[in-house]
Chain A
Amino acid sequence: MPPAVILFTLVKILLLLVVLLTAVAYAVLFERKVVARMQSRWGPTRVGPHGLLQPLADAVKLLTKEDITPSSAFRFIYTMAPLLSLVFALLAFAVIPFGPPLTLGGVDAFQVADPDIGLLFLFAVSSMGVYGITLAGWSSNSKYSLLGSLRSTAQMISYELAVGLSVIGVLLMTGSLSLRTIVDAQAGTYWGFLPRWHVFPQIVGFFCFYVGAIAETNRLPFDMPEAETELVAGYHTEYSSMKFAMFFMAEYANMVAVSCVATVLFFGGWHGPLFGPPSLQVVLPLFWFALKVFCFLFVYVWLRGTLPRFRYDQLMAFGWKFLMPVALGNVILTSFVIVAWPALSRFWS
């Protein structure tokens, strides 16, 4: 690789991280604001206009707080756990295409890498992300932490199956694991007006994916691991200062990642109406992508503001007995329709 390419790649990665961490910080503020409005409150308003500088203040506060490691904790693993969580949460963004292919200085501008196994890469990263939570609870040596992390791990691995099954319908339609190919397959429209997004033929798959993904990111109504009314703060009860903040950032980064993946797989990625001068046409796809991701984040917050929490046995039963069979049924149905399509269309005409 020529040095210029490496340099450009590095710049791209740094830019991505800056944008991402800002998005994560403001996702927290956004959630606090929206939930506050849903509960007839104002949310943060003191720091800056409309509380817009709140994330900055939080960052300064968390950085300067005292970092407490309980004396009964396993020091090394206790420190490693938040690190693992954050690293794997951010690594997921390596394969997500944020915009159409645009080569600048020999580097694709809107995607870090586009391996052939993009989708499986995402699952690999998310399956490794489980360890952060498991080890955090175990190494804290606190009852609440351990209960929270055990519950959380069992929940995450259970829903991982449903999520893994739910995307197979999309794969059957596109025949590729590369996320860019999957987005490209969604260009154009059905019958001239309906966007060719996978969500329309794969509505069941999308439902399973999104519900499973919410459970995997430990968000309401599946936020068992941190059920604060019973488990204090779940797996991060003992954590303070920046280590706590890293778990927090990992959680929101995971939410953003899930929103991005849902956009890419089911909502056509960056595809949207293009118009105006060429300079606008470069920016518009990014705007559509961001808008779709924003909508998903809003749904996350909306669910949190609306739904009560599941009971743990209900949650496990829902994952294994409802979501997984439905996702599998969707796989079989989709493959059947693809196989039988020539015969079916002849039957209709």
Chain B
Amino acid sequence: MYQALFFLFAASAVGFAINLLIQRHPIHSALSLIGVMGSLASLYLMLGAEFLAVVQVIVYAGAVMVLFVFVIMLLNADKEEPSDRSKMAKYLGLPLLFLLLAMITVVIYRQFPEDAMVQFGDFPGQTAAIGRLLFRDFLLPFEVISILILIAIIGAIVLAKKEP
């Protein structure tokens, strides 16, 4: 039953991702991206990473995508006109995609022994566990994040400021 759920969410993630590429209107693409993120969050949840799943929804699907939707609304972006597609992309694109997929498959196959099955809900991703990792083991990266946020705040101001 869990396998069925896994495939359901995995399929919806892939489906939304393909839809994102196919849709001509940016707002439809943005909505598909929200779908992708929601499906990914469900997959995280199934693996046991509760906190990560919920952060994925709050920060990515909630905050980042609101910004995307705002930008689309703000710029009044309309349907994309299909540009003159380059011949290269047309003939090389698909083969290269399959090559990439094949490479990833080989790497994964080599890296992980066959008997290492993924157990649903096994990943220790409870909020408290994440907290212990963040505030004990990875304290320095955590403190550095604050500087990153500070830089981003200044960046936001610079972006939004009118040219004198």
Chains A and B in contact, CB within 8 Å: yes
Which A residues are within 8 Å of any B CB, using their own CB?
1, 74, 76-77, 115-117, 120-121, 123-124, 127-128, 130-131, 134-135, 138, 146, 150, 153, 157, 177
Tell which of B14-22, B49-57, B147-155 binds the partner: B49-57
Q: Which residues of B contact A131 (CB under 8 A)?
A: 34, 66, 69
Q: Is the CB of B57 within 8 A of A116?
A: no
Q: Which residues of B contact A127 (CB under 8 A)?
A: 57-58, 61-63
Nearest B residue (CB) for A1: B1
Q: Is the CB of A117 within 8 A of B54?
A: yes
Q: Which residues of A contact B34 (CB under 8 A)?
A: 131
Beyond A116-B50, A124-B54, A157-B66: 9 further Cβ-contacts under 8 Å?
A77-B27, A77-B31, A115-B50, A127-B61, A127-B63, A128-B57, A150-B73, A153-B66, A177-B127
Contacts known (A77-B31, A123-B58, A138-B27); A130 close to B66, Cβ less than 8 A? yes
How many Å lie between the Cα of A120 and that of B73 in the bound state?
28
Would you call B105 an interface residue if the criterion is a C-beta within 8 Å of the partner chain's C-beta atoms?
no
How many Å lie between the Cα of A117 and that of B34 in the bound state?
21
How many Å lie between the Cα of A116 and that of B51 in the bound state?
9
A-B contact count (CB 8 A): 55
Query: 6 closest A-B pairs (Cβ-Cβ)?
Result: A127-B62, A124-B57, A120-B54, A117-B50, A124-B58, A124-B54
How many Å lie between the Cα of A77 and that of B25 in the bound state?
12
How many Å lie between the Cα of A117 and that of B51 in the bound state?
7
Residues in B46-88 with C-beta less than 8 Å from chain A: 50-51, 54-55, 57-58, 61-63, 66, 69-70, 73
How many Å lie between the Cα of A157 and that of B64 in the bound state?
11
How many Å lie between the Cα of A200 and that of B28 in the bound state?
47
Nearest B residue (CB) for A122: B54
The smallest C-beta distance from B151 to any residue of chain A, in angstroms, reads: 19
Q: Is the CB of A153 within 8 A of B70?
A: yes
Which of B50, B61, B62: most chain A Cβ within 10 A? B62
Could you show 21 A-B contacts with beta carbons less than 8 Å apart? A77-B28, A77-B31, A115-B50, A116-B126, A117-B50, A117-B54, A120-B51, A120-B54, A120-B127, A123-B54, A124-B62, A127-B57, A127-B62, A127-B63, A128-B57, A128-B61, A130-B62, A134-B66, A135-B27, A150-B73, A157-B63
Q: Is the CB of B126 within 8 A of A134?
A: no
Nearest B residue (CB) for A126: B62
Q: Which residues of A contact B126 (CB under 8 A)?
A: 116
Q: Which residues of B contact A150 (CB under 8 A)?
A: 73
How many Å lie between the Cα of A74 and that of B27 in the bound state?
10
The smallest C-beta distance from A78 to any residue of chain B, in angstroms, reads: 12
Q: Is the CB of B62 within 8 A of A138?
A: no
Q: Which residues of A contact B66 (CB under 8 A)?
A: 130-131, 134, 153, 157
Q: Which residues of A contact B55 (CB under 8 A)?
A: 120
Nearest B residue (CB) for A120: B54
Nearest A residue (CB) for B25: A74
Q: Which residues of B contact A120 (CB under 8 A)?
A: 51, 54-55, 58, 127
Q: Which residues of A contact B54 (CB under 8 A)?
A: 117, 120-121, 123-124
Nearest A residue (CB) for B53: A117
How many Å lie between the Cα of A177 and that of B131 in the bound state?
13
Q: Which residues of A contact B70 (CB under 8 A)?
A: 153
Nearest B residue (CB) for A161: B63
Q: Which residues of B contact A146 (CB under 8 A)?
A: 73
Q: Which residues of A contact B50 (CB under 8 A)?
A: 115-117
The smallest C-beta distance from A178 to any residue of chain B, in angstroms, reads: 10
